[in-house]
Each structure stands twice: as C-alpha cells, then as structure tokens.
A and B are shown apart, each in its own frame.
Chain A
C-alpha cells in the first residue's frame, strides 16, 4: 500500500518562530489533507490540498504532486499550535492513509 513519511518526527519551537513540516508519499495521489491533533485529542482539518498552494492565516501548505511531497508552513508560531500534525493521502476518494505525524511543541 501507499507509504506516507513525515518529518521531522518531533520539533520544539520558541514562540514566534517559523517552521516547515514535510510529507513524502510513495505513489500518485488525488487527495492530500493536513490535520492538527490538539493536546485534547481533537483532529482539526487544516487543508485539503492535492496540488498547489493554499494559505489560511499563519498556516500555508504546498503540494507538488509530481514529486510526491507536501509542505506545511507555520509562521509566527504560538503555544496553541502545539500538538501533532498529520498528513494523510489517498489514491482515490477519501480512503486516507495517515502518516505517523510530527509532534510540535511551542514554548512561551
């Protein structure tokens, strides 16, 4: 099946710093989504981005489908950004395969 690799596995930032999270996948996909799982366990959809670039406030994402990777940018990080960031991909539909996640801790 499709493989999803996320890096780095964990990251500690000082509040206000910027960061880039990476997602590599092993096959051509028609669906890619980024999620944030907060410390209370809630999974929040950040982006649906099978290709191209999107921005939402301090967050932006870029997917280069032909090269099989996606990047999530967090600018001016805040403590509320802490949690686990998941990349999930699907060959078709929404049968998403999740990566292992990047654990982010933002210190004040």
Chain B
C-alpha cells in the first residue's frame, strides 16, 4: 500500500462544475495535510492546508479531512480552465513534529491530473 495514494486521472469536468479530488493515507497518526497545485513543467504551489476533521474553505477551494477514514479531499467549485493542473496531496506522517517517525518531511502522492473543459 502506498503511503499517500491518489487516483492519477485524468479527471475531466466541464467548466463551472465542481471538481472533487481525493487522497488516502496510510499513517493513522498523521496530523497535517496539504494540497498543492502543479502546472505542467512548473513547481508545486501550496493552495490549502488542513489539520482538523471537517471542512476548510478558501475561496473556490474546500479541503475536507476525515481522520477516521484516513482520507482528505479537495473540492474546487465553479471550475475554470485555469484550474487544469495536477493536484498533489501531501501528508506529514507523524503524530507530532520531530525528526523521527516521518515528522521531518511531507510525503506526497503522485497527483491527480484535472482537466477543466470548455
């Protein structure tokens, strides 16, 4: 089982629709979760972070976290062609900050490619 798993896609949605991106993780003790957007040929850009169960909204983006089920999702409302990119899920896989147990780094999924079609 991969530590952080995402469907590679591509996920195609029409313009104006809601795009739903999902991520599951293996470490039940993980506390911090992040979504990055990566345009083709560019570096990842942080768009959302979430630490507690429930929803966190920022503009058109909503991150959802369910620690019991070990998944985190990203919803993009009113999807635009400019949202077309690969979305990376990142997890700090430790129960606390520190240099052991994976807390020293973010573990990334391989990303989901999103295509927003006109």
A and B: partners? Answer: no
